[in-house]
Amino acid sequence: MSYPNQNPYGPPPGQQPGYGYPQQPPQPSPYGPYPGAGMPGPGMPGVPVLNGMPGGVKAARVMLLVLAGLNLIGLGFAVWGLGEVSKASKAAMGADDDDLAAFSVGKGVLITLIALIVIVTVLAITCAVQFGKGGNGVRVCAIIFGVTTTLSSFVVFPLGLVHTALGILIIVFVSKDDGSAWFNRPRY
């Protein structure tokens, strides 16, 4: 059963009665085509569109470079300390064997520390440089670097607080969905 038009004033001007609002032009979907229509990839629901390196990944790369810079400062202090221990051991040549053994242990510890700092610094710089073109292996390397930096910073915690914070942030930023999408993106 059809009811008559209840509007006593009639239809709005320029519109046919009973047809509602005029049609709008079709709007583009923010998600792209529906699943199964065309090639899968960016533009599909649930797949972030990458117009460049995400901000979190850029921040993680900068943090890696900052940690490398801090490691270089620490390397300078370690080399300076090694020089001071060497001077002190030369000045104490007439000392007993226990003192000379202590100087030798101190030199060995500082040389090992210098080697570790150099390795970690080279790893941080290499990993940061590869963020632009690297794949999932670079992401895994950054996560491992963040974990080892965080854990090793607990040894000298008050001084290593910056390393702790930056290591945790590197892990978080690289592990997020946009970071995962960046490192797993197709490369042509």
Whole-number pLDDT of residue 48: 55
Give the number of domains in the chain. Answer: 1
* Nearest one of 57, 60, 27, 23 to 179, comparing CA atoms: 57
Q: Which amino acid is present at 180?
A: S
pLDDT of 115 reads 93
- Alpha-carbon torsion angle 180, 144, 114, 96, nearest 10: 170
Question: CA-CA distance, 168 to 163, in Å (whole number)?
Answer: 8
Is 176 part of a structural domain of the chain?
yes
pLDDT of residue 158: 82
Structural domain includes residue 90: yes
Helix axes 161-175, 136-153, angle to 10 degrees: 150
Q: Is residue 24 part of a domain?
A: no
Place of tokens 């533009």: 43
Contact 42, 50 (CB under 8 A): yes
Host domain of residue 157: 55-183
Q: By the 8 A CB rule, do 165 and 179 touch?
A: no
Kindly state whether residue 11 falls inside one of the protein's structural domains: no
Q: Write down the pLDDT at residue 38.
A: 47
Q: Classify residue 2: in a domain, yes or no.
A: no
Residue 117 domain-assigned (yes or no)? yes
Q: Mean pLDDT, 10 residues at a time, over the chain (188 residues)?
A: 64 57 64 53 54 85 93 92 84 72 83 91 92 86 92 84 92 90 80
Nearest Cα neighbor of 60 from 172, 137, 164, 148 is 172
Return the number of other C-beta atoms located less than 10 Å from residue 57's C-beta: 24
> Which pLDDT belongs to residue 155?
85
Residue 49 lies in a domain: no
Single-letter amino acid, residue 172: V
pLDDT at 34: 53
At CB < 8 A and 24+ separation, what contacts does 76-79 make? Answer: 78/110, 78/113, 78/114, 78/117, 79/114
Contacts of 173 (CB under 8 A, 6+ apart): 56, 57, 59, 60, 63, 179
